[in-house]
């Protein structure tokens, strides 16, 4: 569930953290309908949750909300047990890429009609909506999103004579080369940042895996996916990022904080770590969406985030959906965006973060968001991720087509349960 680390990083913006596996009890009277909601630790602040609870119970006097805060560690088996009827809550927050796994159990409520009628599902961010829909059935209601942007050092850009962030891949490469001429690293990109690679593959029209034939097949060896890897290789060569490690080894925030790296690709919340390491960079950090192939649209990005689901065996299924309708509706989406610096579930709501450079850049990129392949077995791919060694092999001089073929075969085996 490495995509959850993306959201965990965003949660650093929170000023108040919720306690793990705690309960925020309801305040309604004994005759109330109790709706139990599982939310994940640090998804929202305690203040946000208190305000939502108070507002919702005032407008729904017959409802008592009980929030139970869960830890991401070990959450998969716990949700599966709950869906099977063991201490089943009425609403569960899940990672957007986990919905397929839980839908496979057959124990999720179909929310297709409700989402179309009440929530304007046609306008949802694709990176949240698509993984929540399995076989044309909407099981997951998009709640919030976060994605990667380019974080840059404004002083280094100014010193290199670069007045505006690039809008196209070609200009991005040219600017990064210019930044290198001043003795800095134009781009620090580790060799195994496979979520970034996924965006470049999607830009070319490719996929990490393809399930259109009825059976999932790894597809890193398609011409489109190989073009995405070719661009990654070109960009990665513009700095000294390790070819055999990801963005955590060493932490790229620490590398950027040294002051001679012009750009990294990360979530905006990484700036919190950068400034903690080097407070002198305060006011010097800028943000822009990953550039696209043309200036008409930013580059594709992996969208991490959360969906809300209703167990089919929940006691209060209808009342649970009403809570989801509020959380996913315009009012509380705007509150969530301004409180947590998340991207709202609809592009039309992004106006609330105008003026917030980092979040606005993230929201612009989110319009080109995607999720990992919508297979219930995708977690098995990430458990022993063959994409990362494939990337290293290519960056170290291996034949891209042969390495991609071998990695695709491993993805196919994992998706088949082998």
Give the residue extent of every domain in the chain. Answer: 3-147+302-370, 149-301+374-415
Q: What is the predicted pLDDT for the residue at 21?
A: 44
CA distances from 288 to 142, 195, 285, 294, 346 (A): 24, 17, 11, 15, 20
- Choose among 139, 40, 41, 36: nearest CA to 89: 36
Fold of 3-147+302-370: D-Maltodextrin-Binding Protein; domain 2 (3.40.190)
pLDDT at 119: 92
* Residue 93, token pair as written in the block: 């927050």
Q: What is the pLDDT of residue 86?
A: 87
Q: Structure pTM?
A: 0.86
Joined together, the tokens standing for residue 309 give 């689901």
- Strand 33-40 relative to strand 91-95: parallel, antiparallel, unpaired? parallel
Strands (E) in 15-104, as ranges, are 23-24, 33-40, 63-70, 91-95
Q: Which CATH class is domain 149-301+374-415?
A: alpha beta
pLDDT at 37: 98
- Does 149-301+374-415 match 3-147+302-370 at the fold level? yes
Residue 275, pLDDT score = 95
DSSP state letter for 168: B
Which stretches in the chain have pLDDT values below 50?
A: 1-5, 8-21, 24-29
CA dist., res. 19 & res. 39, Å (int): 11
Q: Other CB atoms closer than 10 Å to residue 389's CB: what's the count?
A: 18
Decide: residue 198, CB within 10 A, 0-12 exposed, 13-18 middle, 19+ buried.
Answer: buried
Tokens, residue 385: 């991720």
Residue 73, SS3 per DSSP: coil
Torsion of Cα atoms, 121 then 127 then 128 then 132, to 10°: 90
Give yes or no for a contact between 130 and 342, defined as CB atoms under 8 angstroms apart.
no
* pLDDT for the residue numbered 9: 46
The CA–CA distances, whole Å, from 52 to 61, 185, 195, 336 equal 14, 45, 33, 10
Q: Which helix (H) or strand (E) covers residue 143, if one does? A: strand 141-147
pLDDT in tens, 275-284: 999 999 999 9
């Amino acid at each position: 569930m490495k995509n959850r680390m993306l959201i965990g990083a965003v949660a650093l913006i929170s000023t108040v953290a919720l306690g793990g596996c705690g309960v925020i009890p309801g305040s309604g009277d004994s005759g109330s309908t109790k709706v139990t909601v599982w939310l994940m630790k640090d998804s929202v602040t305690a203040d946000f949750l208190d305000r939502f609870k108070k507002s919702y119970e005032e407008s729904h006097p017959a409802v008592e909300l009980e929030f139970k805060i869960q830890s991401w560690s070990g959450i998969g088996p716990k949700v599966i047990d709950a869906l099977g009827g063991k201490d089943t809550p009425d609403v569960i927050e899940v990672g957007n890429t986990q919905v397929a796994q839980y839908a496979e159990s057959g124990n999720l409520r179909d929310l297709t009609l409700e989402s179309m009628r009440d929530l304007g599902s046609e306008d949802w961010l694709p990176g949240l909506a698509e993984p929540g829909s399995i076989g044309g059935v909407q099981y997951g209601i998009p709640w919030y999103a976060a994605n990667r942007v380019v974080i840059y050092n404004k002083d280094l850009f100014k010193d290199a004579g670069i007045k505006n962030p690039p809008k196209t891949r070609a200009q991005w490469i040219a600017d990064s080369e210019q930044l290198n001429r001043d003795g800095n690293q134009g781009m620090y990109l580790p060799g195994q940042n496979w979520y970034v690679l996924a965006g470049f593959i999607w830009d070319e029209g490719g996929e990490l895996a393809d399930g259109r034939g009825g059976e999932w097949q790894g597809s890193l060896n398609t011409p489109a996916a190989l073009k995405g890897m070719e661009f990654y290789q070109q960009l990665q060569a513009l700095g000294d990022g390790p070819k055999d490690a990801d963005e955590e080894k060493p932490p790229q925030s620490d590398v950027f904080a040294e002051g001679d790296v012009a750009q990294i690709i990360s979530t905006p919340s990484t700036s919190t770590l950068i400034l903690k390491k080097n407070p002198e960079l305060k006011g010097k950090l800028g943000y822009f969406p990953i550039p696209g192939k043309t200036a008409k649209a930013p580059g594709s990005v992996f969208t991490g985030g959360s969906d809300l689901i209703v167990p089919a065996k929940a006691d209060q299924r209808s009342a649970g959906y009403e809570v989801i309708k509020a959380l996913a509706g315009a009012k509380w989406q705007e509150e969530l965006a301004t409180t947590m610096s998340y991207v709202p579930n609809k592009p039309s709501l992004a106006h609330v973060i105008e003026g917030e450079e980092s979040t606005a850049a993230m929201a612009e990129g989110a319009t080109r968001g995607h999720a990992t392949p919508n297979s219930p077995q995708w977690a098995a791919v990430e458990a022993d991720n063959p994409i990362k060694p494939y990337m290293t092999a290519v960056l170290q001089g291996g034949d891209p087509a042969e390495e991609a073929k071998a990695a695709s075969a491993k993805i196919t085996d994992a998706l088949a349960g082998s």
